[in-house]
Amino acid sequence: MARSEIKAAAGEAIEPADRMLQILTHSARLFATKGFDGTSMRDIAEACGISKSLLYHHFTDKDEIYARIALGSTQRLCEFVQDRLPEGASPPDRVRAFMTATGDYFQRYRSNWIASTAAFWSDPEQRRRKERMMWRDRYEGLIRQLIQDAIDAGDFRPVDVPLTGRLVLSSLNWMHRWYKPEKGMTPAQIADAYFDLIFNGLKAR
């Protein structure tokens, strides 16, 4: 339960920052399950247990909420993955850590992932779009650098680094279209299996 929800349950006043977090959290869940068009400001207000006027006090419209979720999710993903790269590990292990950390992030923040994926290219506000692209490029640049490090160390054969990076990210980014939490492996385990398939191949040893 989020800090804001705990305060609300206890009858305590919710601080503006907590209220913003509450709104963004509930909005992400609604956008992920009902889609942008299927979610109204009334739906968001009811999910948060607040009035529409209070909701409009914090956000101009639904588009602003959607854009904030997309930007925040992209930034947090990059920081989350970078923080989980093991220092001193071999280059291939750092590539594996990048992939499994991405799977772990997806599992923890699935609603934000799904909402932000759908919203990535739709924000009409240029400044927010440029900032989101900056974080996306930083995340993609990270996996490319890790792959290049593994090549330089002689662990991977020389390959087209941008192409390989796109293969890695494509395998991870589309997980939300088919993944079912109640079936089989966790997202981190799936990412680990992808690592083995991509970098060790299908050919029998």
- Judge whether residue 126 has pLDDT over 50: yes
pLDDT tens digit string along 81-116? 999 999 999 999 999 999 999 999 999 888 888 877
Residue 38 corresponds to which tokens in the numbers above?
């299927």
Per-residue pLDDT, 7: 43
CA distance 116 to 124: 14
Q: What are the tens digits of pLDDT across the range 2-61?
A: 444 434 333 344 556 788 888 988 988 888 788 788 888 999 999 999 999 999 999 988
Give the pLDDT of residue 2: 42
- H/E segment holding residue 180: none
Tell me if domain 3-59 and domain 70-200 are identical in fold. Answer: no
Mean pLDDT score of the chain, rounded to an integer? 84
Domain-by-domain residue ranges, the chain?
Answer: 3-59, 70-200
For residue 110, give Cα distances in angstroms to 81, 113, 149.
Answer: 15, 5, 30
pLDDT for the residue 128: 67
pLDDT at 13: 46
CATH 3.40.50.1260 describes domain 70-200:
no
**Which burial class, exposed, middle or buried, applies to 140 when counting CB atoms under 10 A from its CB (0-12, 13-18, 19+)?**
middle
What is the fold, at CATH topology level, of the domain defined by 3-59? Answer: Arc Repressor Mutant, subunit A (1.10.10)
What single-letter DSSP state applies at residue 38? T
pTM over the 0.75 mark: yes
